[in-house]
């Protein structure tokens, strides 16, 4: 065996978890992403999804996807830069720009690319990237490949952010990047205070709204709108794989920034465009999100109902203010065991272990959809309480 293969072969953590019967990943689901899914011949309640508005199986969205395939085919066979821009892409860009009140939008084939491609593109050797220590992995990926000086501030700690900003030269280009909703813990960045500090120190603010769109703000415009600061945030990143029921991502910004990025972001220039079916799905989902506010109300009703149930039973749920409810376990192996036990009890949840969170903060991620019923939530909470007690976590 060659040295590289020999090194990789020493990674045996998945095999060890499989041998214990607690391996939780790559579970093959054979049904639509709904509040109940089919795994093999077993039906389980889905509380591990990011489909916050429950739109992935909406008939109008499926119809739009099918019609797009009939008109455009299944793919674009090229990047947006060359032959891969369709009129439906322009329609979606314009719709998102109007929705967020920005000059322009550029679409990415994956949300991860939007962050990891944008950060190293807009920053150079004499610039500064300033990021929250719990930012998403896609932001961290951009940090790894940027030539800029990278500075970290403590999670949602504005005093520490100001300390970091004071280190940077006044005339230097500075980009502060934060999640709007932090995807594992469910807490929300203080956008109003971030805007204030960025204005004070002449830093550009970029907010990742992957888990905020559809959840917060008017018609689901996100956390920046929730804090009434949407016009003051220069760059908005979002994804289509959560509330918007598809796949892909985008950056919304002023026309000069978008113009530069469209001609400079390597993952954008060298990756095939988002498929027409996915594009049509997002357009349909965006329309539903804006015209059916009852979905957002139902999501928050379910969120508040579940939060109260967990708090009343003594669960540790951190500082979440969103439909993402972290149930802290603080032990990686027990987190895997819990996931397996709950699946056997008919509840699908996701384990969160390092590097997604620090080793002392392992947790079960419980996520709500607008389409869950209180009866389903009650069933899940009962089973989770039972399993936590059996493992002596509560």
| Pairing relationship of beta strands 149-153 and 128-132 according to DSSP bridges | parallel
Question: Is residue 333 in a domain?
Answer: yes
pLDDT confidence band for 356 (50 / 70 / 90): confident
d(CA 234, CA 205): 6
Q: What is the pLDDT of residue 99?
A: 98
pLDDT of 38 strictly over 90: yes
For 116, half-sphere exposure in the C-beta direction (CA atoms, 13 angstrom radius) is 13
Which of 37-51, 61-75, 145-159, 350-364 is the least confident region?
Answer: 350-364
Q: What is the pLDDT of residue 354?
A: 87
| Of 268, 346, 225, 241, residue with least CA distance to 84 | 268
Question: Is residue 51 in a domain?
Answer: no
Regarding whether 279 and 259 lie in a shared domain, the answer is yes
Regarding whether 336 and 378 lie in a shared domain, the answer is yes
Q: Indicate the residue among 242, 275, 291 that finishes a domain.
A: 291
d(CA 97, CA 27): 36
d(CA 39, CA 30): 6
d(CA 245, CA 267): 23
Other Cβ atoms less than 10 A from the Cβ of 182: the count is 26
Q: What average pLDDT does the segment 36-65 reach?
A: 96
Regarding whether 138 and 197 lie in a shared domain, the answer is yes
pLDDT confidence band for 299 (50 / 70 / 90): very high
d(CA 215, CA 181): 10
| Pairing relationship of beta strands 235-239 and 104-108 according to DSSP bridges | unpaired
Q: Indicate the residue among 232, 256, 291 that finishes a domain.
A: 291
List pLDDT tens digits, range 337-350: 999 999 999 999 99
Regarding whether 381 and 271 lie in a shared domain, the answer is no
Which candidate in 102, 143, 174, 242 is catalytic? 242
Task: Decide if 364 contacts 384 (C-beta within 8 A).
Answer: yes
Which candidate in 102, 143, 211, 334 is catalytic? 211
Q: What average pLDDT does the segment 19-23 reach?
A: 93
Question: Is residue 7 in a domain?
Answer: no
List pLDDT tens digits, range 249-296: 999 999 999 999 999 999 999 999 999 999 999 999 999 999 999 999
Q: What is the pLDDT of residue 224?
A: 98
| Pairing relationship of beta strands 235-239 and 249-253 according to DSSP bridges | antiparallel
Question: Is residue 179 in a domain?
Answer: yes
| Domain coverage including residue 356 | 13-46+293-390
Q: Does 155 participate in catalysis according to the annotation?
A: no
Q: What is the pLDDT of residue 95?
A: 98
Q: What average pLDDT does the segment 239-245 reach?
A: 97
- Ordered DSSP codes for 316-339: --TT--SSEEEEE---HHHHHHHH
Regarding whether 230 and 245 lie in a shared domain, the answer is yes
| E strand intervals along the chain | 36-39, 42-46, 104-108, 128-132, 149-153, 174-179, 204-208, 235-239, 249-253, 324-328, 347-348, 350-352, 363-367
Q: Does 211 participate in catalysis according to the annotation?
A: yes
Q: What is the pLDDT of residue 355?
A: 84
pLDDT confidence band for 368 (50 / 70 / 90): very high
Question: Is residue 2 in a domain?
Answer: no
Domain count, the chain: 2
Which candidate in 138, 183, 243, 246 is catalytic? 183
CATH number, domain of 216, equals 3.40.640.10
Encode 196-210: b = buried (16+ Cβ within 10 Å), e = exposed.
ebbeebebbbbbbbb
Regarding whether 358 and 215 lie in a shared domain, the answer is no
In sequence order, what are the beta bridge partners of 149? 128
List pLDDT tens digits, range 64-123: 999 999 999 999 999 999 999 999 999 999 999 999 999 999 999 999 999 999 999 999
C-alpha pair distances (Å), 198 with each of 201, 256, 335: 5, 19, 38
CATH number, domain of 370, equals 3.90.1150.10
d(CA 8, CA 224): 43
H or E element that contains 285 = helix 276-291
Q: Does 242 participate in catalysis according to the annotation?
A: yes
Q: Indicate the residue among 271, 291, 311 that finishes a domain.
A: 291
Q: What is the pTM of this model?
A: 0.96
User: By 3-state DSSP, what share of the chain in percent is helix, strand and coil, each rounded to 5?
Assistant: 45, 15, 40
């Amino acid at each position: 065996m060659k040295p590289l293969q020999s090194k990789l072969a020493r990674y045996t953590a998945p095999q060890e978890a499989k041998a214990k019967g607690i391996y939780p990943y790559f579970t093959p689901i054979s049904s639509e992403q709904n509040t109940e899914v089919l795994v093999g011949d077993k039906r389980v309640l889905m509380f591990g999804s990011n489909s916050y508005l429950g739109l992935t199986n909406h008939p109008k969205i499926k119809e739009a996807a099918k019609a797009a395939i009939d008109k455009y085919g299944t793919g674009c066979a090229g990047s947006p830069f060359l032959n891969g821009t369709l009129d439906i892409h322009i329609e979606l860009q314009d719709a998102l720009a109007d929705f967020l009140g920005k000059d322009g939008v550029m679409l990415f084939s994956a949300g991860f690319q939007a962050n990891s491609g944008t950060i190293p593109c807009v920053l150079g050797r004499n610039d500064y990237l300033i990021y929250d220590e719990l930012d998403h992995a896609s932001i961290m990926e951009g940090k790894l490949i940027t030539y800029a000086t990278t500075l970290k501030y403590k999670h949602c700690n504005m005093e520490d952010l100001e300390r970091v900003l004071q280190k940077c030269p006044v005339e230097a280009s500075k980009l502060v990047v934060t999640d709007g909703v932090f995807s594992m813990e469910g807490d929300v960045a203080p956008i109003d205070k971030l805007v204030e500090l960025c204005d004070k120190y002449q830093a550009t603010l970029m907010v990742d709204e992957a888990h905020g769109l559809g959840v917060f703000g008017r018609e689901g415009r996100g956390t920046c709108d929730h804090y009434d600061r949407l016009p003051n945030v220069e760059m908005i990143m979002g994804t289509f794989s959560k509330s918007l029921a598809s796949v892909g991502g985008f950056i919304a910004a002023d026309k000069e920034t978008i113009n530069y990025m469209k001609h400079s972001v390597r993952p954008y220039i060298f990756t095939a465009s988002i498929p027409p079916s996915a594009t049509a799905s997002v357009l349909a989902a965006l329309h539903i999100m804006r015209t059916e506010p009852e979905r957002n109300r139902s999501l928050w009703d379910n969120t508040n109902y579940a939060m109260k149930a967990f708090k009343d039973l003594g669960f540790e749920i951190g500082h979440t203010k969103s439909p993402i409810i972290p149930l802290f376990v603080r032990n990686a192996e027990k987190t895997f065991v819990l996931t397996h036990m709950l699946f056997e009890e008919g509840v699908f949840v996701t384990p969160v272990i390092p590097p997604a969170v620090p080793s002392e903060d392992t947790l079960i991620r419980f996520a709500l959809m607008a389409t869950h019923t209180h009866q389903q939530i009650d069933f899940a909470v009962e089973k989770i309480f039972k399993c936590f007690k059996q493992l002596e976590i509560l």
